Structures are given as C-alpha cells and as structure tokens.
Chains A and B, each alone.
Chain A
Amino acid sequence: MMDDNIYKLDRVKRLACNRVLLDIIGLEIAPDRVVRIIGDNGSGKTTLLKILALLDRPDTGHVYVSGTLVEWKWSKLRPLRNKITLLEQFPFCFKGKVIDNVSLGARIRGMPKKEAKRKAISLLEELGLHEKTNQDAGGLSGGELKRVALARALLCDPHILILDEPFSELDEKSGALVTGVLERYLTTKKGIFIYSTHSENSYGFTGERRIFLSGGRLVNKNESICLPVKPASRPMVPGGT
C-alpha cells in the first residue's frame, strides 16, 4: 500500500520514570517542504523529534516512515536512519578539529575526503566560522557549536532534516546567517525539513505546516494547516519576522 505521508505515528507513547513524555494518538505528517513543531519547554518536542529521527524508541505504538513500519532492529534501522539527520538543540561535537566534525557525516555516507573538506569549508564560511575551521571543537561557544553541528547535518544531505530549536542559543547575526543557509538549502535541495521552536512568533518559513504540542499531546489549532504548499513549487522567503 502506498502512503504519501512521510511519517505516520500510531498510538505512540514515551514514558520516563512513570511520567508521560509523549502521548500521540495519531499523527500524519504530509510531505510538505517545511514542518514546524511548536510547543513550550517540556511539551515533548525533543522526544518527538528523537523518535522521528529513529534515535529513541517509543514504549508503545507504531512509527511509519514513508509508509514502512519501523521495526526497531539494527539491520532495518540503518537504511532508514541514513535518510534522516537530526540536529539536537544542544549538539555534540566529537573530539578533534572543527573541520573533521563537519565532514564526519558526509564521510560516513561515502563522500570522498577532498570533496567533503571543500564543502565543509564553504559551509563554515557561509555560517561565519571560517576562522574556526582548524580549531579544536572543544573550544567552541554554544552558538558556534550549534552552527558547526548544523553544517555537519547539512553536509549529510539527508532526505529528512530535523532541527531541534535551531535558532536558540544564537544571537541576531548568527540567526540571520543560519536562516540564510537554511533558505538556500530549501531552494537547492529537494528534501523535507522539520524543525521545532518554542514560540509561534519567531523565525519561520513560508508555507510551513505547523504542529502544536502541549504536555506531550497534540493540540488542534486552526493555523496548524496554514498554507499547505507543494514541495519545491515556489521559492521560500523568510516569514514571521
């Protein structure tokens, strides 16, 4: 059976120490270009994104990716995970140079070393980090770390890119840089882009579909189906600012 939805969640529950982190009875995410998940701190955004990135297994329920039921087995997970990359809200950088961190994902996915380095350097430049290229990742500030990790995730070139609060920790200038890079990514790549914010009124992308979370549950709001657009049919411009 073909299924247009990129994600379908069926009675998914995630618990931690008897507390419900996430309780979603049914959620279908249509293949819109941009999906935005909005919720306060503790609303379950991060948990949901980790499940969507197939990095956290729900305690109960089923997850479908592009119509395929996810069986939480190593051999089955890896091909699915290869389509998805998550940028965490507080990302992690491995020991070593910034440049090696940025090119790591692309290298793992088989990009030749030279190409990965070249692309990493140009991405770092776009994100205003070119002077950090050969520095140790351990010495980065929170905002720099976030941009380095973003460059790393973008370089993986996944089908589904998931960003957990990509604009937090960033000052105005870095925020603008990130927005610019993401806009360009959306116009040049065909993939799907899911991100979360804690407020409705921050940076946003035109034509994004909005999902509201509160206390681990979905909240129905009218805006949540605002302006559905067909993928890649029109150029994206920053909205909401």
Chain B
Amino acid sequence: MLAAEILNILSVSLKVSLSATLAAALVSVPIGIGLGWGRFPGRNTLVTVLKTLMALPTVVVGLLLYGLFSRLGPLGFLKILYTPAAMAAGQFVLALPIISSLTCSAIEGLDPRVRRTALTLGASRFQAALLGAREAKLTLLAAIAAGFGRVVTEVGSAIMLGGNIKDYTRTMTTAITLETAKGEFELGIYLGFILLAVALGLNLAVAKGLESR
C-alpha cells in the first residue's frame, strides 16, 4: 500500500469523523444542558434512554440508515448511500447519545449555584446554558473527545453506509478490515497503529490547547 493511499484513507477518516463529531456536538451539548438542568416529565426516562444508546451497536445504526438511504428507501432520492456524507450521518447518530449523556452528567455535576447565580442575574435560559457550558468547558471537551473516539474507531456503520470504496469512502477502520480480509495482517496492524497515533496526537493537541489558555 502506497504512502499516498494511506494519507488519503487518513484524510477521509478525519474529514468524516471530525465533521460528524462537530455536528453532533452542536446538537448534543444543548440537549445535554437541557437534560442536566431541566426538570420535566419524562426527563429521567430520556436520560436513561440516552445512556443506553451510548452502547448502540454500530451495525444497527448502519442498518437503520441503510434502509433510510437505500435507493428504494424513504430518503433514497438524496443519493447519499455509499458516500462520505452517509458515513458522517451514521457517525453523527452514534456520537449524539455519547456527547449528550456526558454533557448531561457534566452539567448535573456542576455547582448548583452556577444556575441560580445565572438566573438571579437575569439570564435567559439560553444565556444560563452558555454560562453553564463555560463553567463545564473542560468536561464538555472531554465529552466531545469521547464522541470523536467512538466514531473514528467504529467500522460497522462506516462499512455499511460508505461501502469501503477505494479513495472515496475507505477509512482507517474499513481499510483495516479489508487488509485483514486479504490476509495482510501486518499491514492491518500498521494501520491500527497509525489510527492510534492520530487519536493520541489529537488528544495531545486538545490538552495542549487547554493548557495554554
């Protein structure tokens, strides 16, 4: 396998997983804060459901979205099956419960005075949420990093929705699956190490960025 090919695979992996994680974070952080501070009927059930969905099997997500995006499926007209967009959609669904559950826990774990102080100073719900998110910033970043870790390493939905098409939807994990299928175990392990190194580099970068603040 050429170095250029590996770089290509790596860039597909990062592009898909980063965009999916960021999109999921934009949706999940508000959900998590709402659940963390909100008190409404069904809230506890919802939290439990989200916690359970953290363990959502990747292939189940792949299967559900496959049915949705398939040519004969309800969203078939979008024609995004076997494209990076479909993979990103799958990873979005996978990251969502993780980031929102962890955000919810982070917000619940905040000093109760954070919310009271924000409200007594006249904050709207949105402003209070922003203040809360600022206080919990480190934990929220860890939650997003956990979401990224989950999606960049998953293979089930990526292979079902992306199709492992060379130079297009082949990611680190689907490439490892393929190399193993070809019997190229050593290459598979090298790819695995590269994936680990990338994850490590990203975590170090986040840690460094936080330190310098």
Chain A residues within 8 Å of B, Cβ to Cβ: 50, 53, 55, 74, 78, 81-82, 84-86, 88, 90-92, 94-95, 104-105, 108-109, 152-153, 156
Cα A156 to Cα B131 with chains together (Å): 17
**Contact string against A for B residues 108-145, beta-carbon threshold 8 Å, 1 for contact and 0 otherwise:** 00010110110111111101000100110100000000
Contact B119 A55 (CB under 8 A): yes
Known pairs A81-B122, A108-B121; A94 contacts B134 (CB<8 A) = yes
- Report the nearest A residue to B121, measured CB to CB: A105
- A interface SS class: mixed
Chain B residues with CB below 8 A from A105, complex form: 121-122
Number of B residues, CB within 8 Å of A = 17
* CB-based contact B125/A88 at 8 Å: no
- Are A104 and B124 touching (Cβ within 8 A)? no
A81 and B120 contact, CB distance less than 8 A: yes
Q: Are A92 and B120 closer than 8 Å at their CB atoms?
A: no
**Known A95-B134, A95-B135: A88·B123 in contact at CB below 8 Å:** no
Question: Are A156 and B121 in contact, CB atoms less than 8 angstroms apart?
Answer: yes
Q: Which residue of A lies closest to B116 (CB)?
A: A55
Shortest B140–chain A CB gap in Å is 13
| Docked CA distance A84–B117 (Å) | 12
Tell me, rounded to whole Å, the shortest Cβ–Cβ distance linking A95 to chain B: 6
- Report B's interface with A, CB cutoff 8 A: 111, 113-114, 116-117, 119-125, 127, 131, 134-135, 137
Q: How far is the CB of B64 from chain A (nearest CB, A)?
A: 34
- Among B111, B117, B127, max chain A CB count under 10 A is at B117
Looking across the interface, which residue of chain B has its beta carbon closest to that of A149?
B117
A53 to B119, CA, bound (A): 10
Q: Which 7 A-B pairs have the closest CB atoms?
A: A105-B121, A92-B113, A86-B120, A92-B117, A108-B122, A55-B116, A109-B122
Give the most central of B119, B121, B134: most A CB within 10 Å: B121
* In contact, B134 and A91 (Cβ under 8 angstroms): no
Q: A84-B120, A105-B121 are in contact. Are A92 and B134 (CB under 8 A)?
A: no
Knowing that A53-B120, A94-B114, A109-B121 are A-B contacts, what are 10 other residue pairs whose CB atoms are under 8 Å apart, sorted by A's residue number? A74-B125, A78-B124, A81-B122, A82-B122, A86-B116, A86-B120, A88-B116, A95-B134, A95-B135, A108-B127
Most buried by B among A81, A91, A92: A92
Closest chain A residue, CB of each to CB of B120: A86
- Taken together as a complex, chains A and B put the C-alpha atoms of A152 and B123 apart, in Å, by 13
Most chain-A Cβ atoms within 10 A of its Cβ — which of B111, B114, B116, B122? B122
Docked-complex contact A91 and B117, CB < 8 angstroms: yes
A85 lies within 8 A of B113 (CB)? no
Q: In the docked arrangement, what's the CA distance between A174 and B127, Å?
A: 32
Residues of B within 8 A of A104 (CB): 121
Contact A92 B111 (CB under 8 A): yes
A104 to B119, CA, bound (A): 12
